[in-house]
């Protein structure tokens, strides 16, 4: 039986941070205005969320949802949410990334709505449901996921007689041939934070776990070293572009064929289309390469939930909206169009908005992701201090990709820093 995200909070009292926020019941969380009616507030930042709220309000006269835009989580939104919970004036609902849910749980910032969730678990991809379910508690509803695949420049691959690699060994071989054809051409680019996490996820190289009632940090494990050494080898052999992902040089390389692939989540389709317009019609999508031929293992990068924050008095209304947002076909179709979100709900994996795309040569790329989504290992566990963990990791990865260290050293440094911070914050840590 696979380890699940649920396990690590099985002893919530031990794993809760020493400064956990106390439960509050500020009226800003949403209180019934009249019997049978409710008014709740929702904080988020994704394009299309405001449209979804308006559509919900039009069809649900007994529940009034007020949407307020905040900065994306890592840019200040999360801290604003936590501050509001501590002050007793938090909204009922907030957009929270799956990787941050454990941090919110550890700080006592989430409200259990399991009594309203019923059998909703069956409606979602397992990894997504595990990300909002801690023990028997349910702290929100999944919205989107980020199953990964291989984006590749089909025009370039065809010109060199290459087929999309099915294994990581084939991926390296393709990189060698691509770079040999022109020294300005590379197979990929430096991966950081959650993009890199997805590579580890696919390989079963867990970063966190639990031993009895204490956290384990596994970032320097043998499984992680395997992944790190593979990518380090590509970098050492000059097969990785120096252009940072999401930098203008990266978009230029994607557009002119100098960067031949992106191993990334489904939402990268919108990123590539929007930033590398010169590549129009040249790109395609194939399943993620495997460590062992014939395997069907997939990593995930990204995804978020509509979380119910501590102090929400209208948990029934909060759950009704949160569940609706992630399962309503019309509403989610708008989120696909405006935010390139990919549904966590099983019944939405073939929405009409997930259609063939001219940028990708008319390929129905979302069929690749629909097939991949069930193969994302639901046993991946995020740690309780991901903001600081990722900051430390990125510092090391940035140096490693430029030859000033190694990826394995970056992981070891991030592990040591994370363990030190856990102890400082009062978390139980396995010896």
CA distances to 77, 139, 148 from 319, rounded to whole Å, are 21, 9, 29
User: Residues 286, 152: contact at Cβ < 8 Å?
Assistant: yes
Q: What is d(CA 300, CA 144) in angstroms, rounded to the nearest whole number?
A: 11
Q: What are the residue ranges spanned by the domains of the chain?
A: 7-145+303-353, 148-299+380-425
Quote the pLDDT of residue 69: 98
Q: What is the pLDDT of residue 23?
A: 29
* pLDDT value of residue 213: 86
Structure-token pair, residue 270:
């919108």
Write out the two tokens for 364: 């129905």
Joined together, the tokens standing for residue 154 give 């089909």
Strand partners, 345: 124
Between the CA of residue 153 and those of 187, 235, 357, 368, what are the distances in Å? Answer: 10, 20, 15, 16
- CATH topology assigned to domain 148-299+380-425: D-Maltodextrin-Binding Protein; domain 2 (3.40.190)
- Give me the CATH code for the 7-145+303-353 domain, please: 3.40.190.10
What's the pTM value of the predicted model, to 2 decimals? Answer: 0.89
CA distance 100 to 120: 22
Q: Which two tokens stand for residue 316?
A: 């029934």
Q: State the pLDDT at residue 16.
A: 37
Q: What integer pLDDT is reported at residue 36 of this predicted model?
A: 55
- What's the rounded Cα separation, in Å, for the pair 322 and 316? 10
Residues 69 and 50: their CA atoms lie apart, in Å, by 8
Domains 7-145+303-353 and 148-299+380-425 share a fold: yes
Using one digit for the tens of pLDDT, what is the confidence trace for 217-227? 999 999 999 99
DSSP 146-193: -BEEEEEEHHHHHHTT----SBHHHHHHHHHHHHHH-TT-BSB----H
**One digit per residue, pLDDT tens: the chain, 431 residues?**
333 333 333 333 333 332 222 223 333 344 443 435 899 999 999 999 999 999 999 999 999 999 999 999 988 999 999 999 999 999 999 999 999 999 999 899 999 999 999 999 999 999 999 999 988 899 999 999 999 999 999 999 999 999 999 999 999 999 999 999 999 999 999 999 999 999 999 999 999 998 888 999 999 999 999 999 999 999 999 999 999 999 999 999 999 999 999 999 999 999 999 999 999 999 999 999 999 999 999 999 999 999 999 999 999 999 999 999 999 999 999 999 999 899 999 999 999 999 999 999 999 999 999 999 999 999 999 999 998 999 999 999 999 999 999 999 999 999 999 999 999 999 999 97
Give the chain's mean pLDDT.
91
Indicate the helix (H) or strand (E) that contains 215: strand 214-217
* pLDDT attached to residue 20: 29
* pLDDT at residue 241 in the model: 98
């Amino acid at each position: 039986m696979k380890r699940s995200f649920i396990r690590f909070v099985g002893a919530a009292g031990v794993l809760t941070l020493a400064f956990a926020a106390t439960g509050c019941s500020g009226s800003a969380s949403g209180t019934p205005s009249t019997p049978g009616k409710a008014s709740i507030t929702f904080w988020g930042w994704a394009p299309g969320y405001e449209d979804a709220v308006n559509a919900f309000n039009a069809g649900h006269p007994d529940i009034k949802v007020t949407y307020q835009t905040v900065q994306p989580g890592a840019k200040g939104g999360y801290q604003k949410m936590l501050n509001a919970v501590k002050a007793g004036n938090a909204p009922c609902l907030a957009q929270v990334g799956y990787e941050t849910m454990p941090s919110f749980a550890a700080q006592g910032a989430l409200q259990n709505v399991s009594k309203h969730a019923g059998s909703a678990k069956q409606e979602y991809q397992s990894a997504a449901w595990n990300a909002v379910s801690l023990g028997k508690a349910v702290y929100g509803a999944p919205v989107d996921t980020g199953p990964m695949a291989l984006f590749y420049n089909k025009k370039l691959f065809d010109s060199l007689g290459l087929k999309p690699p099915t294994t990581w060994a084939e991926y390296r071989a393709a990189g060698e041939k691509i770079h040999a054809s022109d020294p300005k051409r590379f197979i990929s680019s430096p991966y950081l934070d959650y993009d890199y996490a997805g590579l580890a996820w696919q390989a079963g190289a867990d970063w966190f776990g639990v031993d009895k009632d204490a956290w384990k940090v596994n970032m320097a494990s043998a499984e992680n070293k395997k992944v790190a050494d593979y990518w380090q080898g590509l970098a050492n052999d000059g097969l990785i572009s120096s252009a940072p992902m999401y930098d203008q040089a990266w978009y230029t390389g994607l557009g002119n064929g100098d960067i031949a692939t992106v191993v990334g989540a489904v939402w990268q389709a919108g990123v590539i289309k929007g930033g590398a317009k010169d590549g129009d019609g040249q790109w395609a999508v194939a399943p993620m390469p495997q460590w062992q031929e014939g395997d069907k293992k997939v990593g995930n990068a990204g995804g978020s939930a509509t979380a119910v924050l501590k102090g929400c008095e209208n948990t029934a209304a909060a759950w009704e909206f949160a569940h609706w947002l992630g399962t309503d076909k019309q509403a989610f179709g708008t989120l696909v169009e405006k935010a390139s979100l990919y549904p966590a709900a099983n019944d939405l994996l073939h929405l009409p908005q997930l259609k063939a795309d001219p940028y990708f040569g008319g390929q129905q790329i979302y069929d690749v992701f629909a097939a991949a989504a069930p193969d994302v290992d639901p046993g991946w566990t995020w740690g309780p201090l991901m903001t600081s963990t990722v900051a430390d990791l990125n510092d090391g990865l940035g140096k490693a990709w430029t030859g000033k260290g190694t990826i394995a050293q970056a992981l070891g440094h991030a592990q040591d820093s994370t363990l030190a911070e856990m102890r400082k914050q009062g978390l139980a840590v396995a010896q």
